[in-house]
Structure formats: structure tokens, C-alpha cells
Amino acid sequence: MLLAVAFGKGLQHEIREKMALPTGHISIGYFNNNRSGVALKPMNIHTDLQQNILDINGVTAIQPVTVKAGILRTAQDFEGVLFKGVTSGYNWEQLSKFITQGQLPDYTNKISTEILMSELLAKRLGYQLGDNAQVYFLKNESRFNIRNFKITGLFNSGYQDFDKGYVFTDMRHFIKMNKWESNQTGGYEVLVRDFEAIEAVNKKVYGQIPSVLDSTPITEKYAQVFQWLLLFDVNIRGIILIMIFIASVNMVTMILVLILEKKHFIGLFKVLGADTASIRKIFIYKAVYIIGKGLLWGNLIGLVAIGVQYSFKVITLNPENYYVNVAPVKLSFLYFMGLNIGTVLLCCVTLWLPTQLISRITPAKILRMD
């Protein structure tokens, strides 16, 4: 049960965070049918609007971004990708975990030519860390804006659709190419503290933005993926119910055998004046002791297995199907205590029925059997 919860919740958490890499937890932009996130027209950066959204309980960050389609071209090949323009204040916390070579780009001073791309994309095009990359951005029907960038960092998130489709660059390039004002952006990304509250936070964000803008949570943008993630909870509940059922059947069998073995003990206690309830408690206490030993070893083995997977990444997964290279584990104290307490309570409730057999055992029957 511990392993089912740890692997299930770990996979849910890891996939949710990776799905937020392209657009954040909530994206803000103009109403349009463009699901790629490419900015069709700019919006002004309003400090008051950003502060109002930051004041919403559960919001951890809001950051301006501009996405523009471009073509990476080499002497032998080319690849169409989305260039995500960010500012010096961009929150790199999640993506920094996946940096494998080089470092994050620096956009603090003058307009920078540094870019960050995935190892997957670099390998497909034959790039190495430190190489220059030539990019073509469509200017009109027959002309391109050509820019040269330097690859300063490579990452590997394991989320292949993101890895092969996004490159990070300085947003000021797009402001200049699109002939926007310096205080304009293509949209906003909002990050939330608790993913479970994303729908509630999105409603509050929507209430703060002008009527011409729309806010879209990733649960809506990638609805199919999150419907698939909900099935993990069904599987976890199913495994827990099956395990508790097996444990309860084993405990019922054990208590019945124990009662039959101790029928003389039961008869003697009744002769001495003990009532059925007090004798039943003795067997329940014995059963709880046996359950406790099982929980001790089960917790020990389960936690060691979780620790080994967390530290040494023994179990790997296919990123094309699961969006991760390694099976992640995540177990909160609340889930840990809930499993242990729930198991003890359910087993004890189940044991109450077979202990009713004690009331049918009388000293006279025991003597006749002897």
C-alpha cells in the first residue's frame, strides 16, 4: 500500500509540474483559437494587475512571456520550434532541476543572445554546448528575421513534447522584431502553490483581468493528460482495498484458529466468572499485537524500498508514455499515518464478527467434548 501511494502520487506530482513548463500553471492572454501560446498581439505590462494577482492566496509568481515560432537551421538539417521569450525575473526553479550541461542564460543587462535548449533537440540538430545557432523568424510572407544565438545551457526534462518543441531566449528580441513597446508582452504565466487549488485560483485570477483577456489553467489546456492522471487515484484506491481485504481475511482466519485452539482457556475463564466481552477483548488485543508486528515490518520494507528508489532511481520508465525517465516517489506524513491507522481500524472492525464465536462456547460443551 505504501508503494502504491508513493509511486502513484509521485508520478502525478512530477507529470503535473512538467506540464507547467511550457505555459505555467495558468496562462493569461487574449481570447483566440491559438492553442500553441504564440502571441498574436501584445498586451501592456501593468504593475497594478500583476500585484493584484500576486495578492491572490495561492499564487506564488506571475511573469510576462512572449512565444514566437522559429526555425533552427544547420548546414544539414532544420527544425521548427517555439521560442519562449522570458525576462530577467523569470522563475527558473522548476527547469533548473533538469539542467544537464552549462548554465541558465543571463538576461539581466543588455539584450542577450544566450539560449537554453534541450539535449534532445541539440542532438537531433548536431549542436554542442557553446555552439552558435542560426534561427529564422517569419517577418512577412517572403522575408525572415535572422538571428544568431549562443547555446549556454542544455536540459533534459524527460517530457519529450516540451524538450523537442521549446527553446528559451531573451524576450527583448521579440519586442524588437514585432516592433512592440518596451512595456509590452505576449502574455503572462501564473504559478500556484497548491496544484489541487488551481481551479479555484484560476477563478480569482479571471476576476482580476480585463474582459478582453482570458485565463486558462493547464488542467483545461491538457485535459486529456489530467483525465489520465485521475485514473491513478482509482488504481491506488483499488490496490489499497484489495490489500486490506486480503489482510482482513488472513486476520479473520487467524482469530478463528486462535479461538478454537484456546477453547479450554475460554471455558475456564467463563467458569471463573469472566463475561464474553472481556474475553473478546483479550483476543482483539492479541490480534492488534499481530497486526502491529505486520505493520512494523511492512512499513520498514516499504520505506526502505521508497528510499532506494528516491536515491538510486532503480525503476525507469519510457518518457514517451509516462513523461518521465525515472519512476518518481512521493509520500506525505498524512498518507503514511492514514494508511497505518486505517489498516488497524478496519482489521479490528473485521475481527469483531468472528469473536462472536466466543459467546457460543460454554463450559458444559467443553467438558462434554473432553
Q: How many domains does the chain have?
A: 2
Share above pLDDT 90 across residues of the chain, in percent, rounded to a whole number: 72
Confidence of residue 354 (pLDDT cuts 50, 70, 90): confident
pLDDT digits (tens, 9 = 90+) for 290-306: 999 999 999 999 999 99
* Residues 166 and 246 grouped into a single domain: no
* Residues 157 and 265 grouped into a single domain: no
The CA distance from 350 to 128, in Å, is: 63
Residue 10 domain-assigned? no
The residue assigned the cell 478582453 is: 212
- Which amino acid belongs to residue 164? K
Residue 11 domain-assigned? no
* Residues 275 and 195 grouped into a single domain: no
Residue 152 has pLDDT above 70, yes or no: yes
Give me the pLDDT at residue 34, please. Answer: 54
Is residue 65 within 8 Å of 85, Cβ to Cβ? yes
The CA distance from 96 to 91, in Å, is: 9
Confidence of residue 165 (pLDDT cuts 50, 70, 90): very high
pLDDT digits (tens, 9 = 90+) for 171-213: 999 999 999 999 999 999 999 999 999 999 999 999 999 999 9
In sequence order, which ranges of the chain are alpha helices (DSSP H)?
2-19, 47-54, 93-96, 119-125, 160-163, 172-177, 198-208, 218-221, 223-261, 263-271, 276-312, 319-322, 333-352, 363-369
* Residues 215 and 109 grouped into a single domain: yes
pLDDT digits (tens, 9 = 90+) for 242-281: 999 998 899 899 998 988 888 888 888 888 888 888 888 8
* Residues 180 and 262 grouped into a single domain: no
Confidence of residue 333 (pLDDT cuts 50, 70, 90): very high
Residue 81, classed as helix, strand or coil, is: strand
Residue 270 CA from chain centroid, whole number: 57
Residue 136 domain-assigned? yes
The residue assigned the cell 521560442 is: 83
* Residues 132 and 53 grouped into a single domain: yes
Residue 110 domain-assigned? yes
Is residue 72 within 8 Å of 81, Cβ to Cβ? yes
Residue 12 domain-assigned? no
Give me the pLDDT at residue 364, please. Answer: 66
Give me the pLDDT at residue 370, please. Answer: 55
* Residues 244 and 362 grouped into a single domain: yes
Of 75, 49, 82, 81, the residue nearest 64 (C-alpha): 49
* Residues 150 and 257 grouped into a single domain: no
**Segments forming the whole domain that contains residue 271:** 225-369
* Residues 104 and 236 grouped into a single domain: no
Which range among 138-147, 198-207, 305-314, 324-333 shows the weakest confidence by mean pLDDT?
A: 138-147
The CA distance from 293 to 228, in Å, is: 37
Residue 8 domain-assigned? no
Q: How many residues does the chain have?
A: 370
pLDDT digits (tens, 9 = 90+) for 11-55: 999 999 999 999 999 999 988 645 567 877 899 998 999 999 999
Give the DSSP H or E segment for 62: strand 59-73
Residue 367 has pLDDT above 70, yes or no: no
Domain boundary (192, 221, 250) is at: 221
Give me the pLDDT at residue 353, please. Answer: 82
* Residues 286 and 330 grouped into a single domain: yes
Domain boundary (173, 188, 221) is at: 221
Residue 195, classed as helix, strand or coil, is: helix
Neighbours of 148 (CB within 10 A): 9
* Residues 191 and 242 grouped into a single domain: no
Mutual angle of helices 276-312 and 333-352, in 10-degree steps: 150
Is residue 17 within 8 Å of 229, Cβ to Cβ? no
Mean pLDDT of 309-330: 93
Domain boundary (153, 186, 221) is at: 221
Residue 15 domain-assigned? no
Confidence of residue 352 (pLDDT cuts 50, 70, 90): confident
* Residues 146 and 168 grouped into a single domain: yes
Sign of the Cα pseudo-torsion (138, 139, 144, 145, in order): negative
Residue 325 domain-assigned? yes
| 24-33, 36-45, 322-331, 344-353, range with greatest mean pLDDT | 322-331
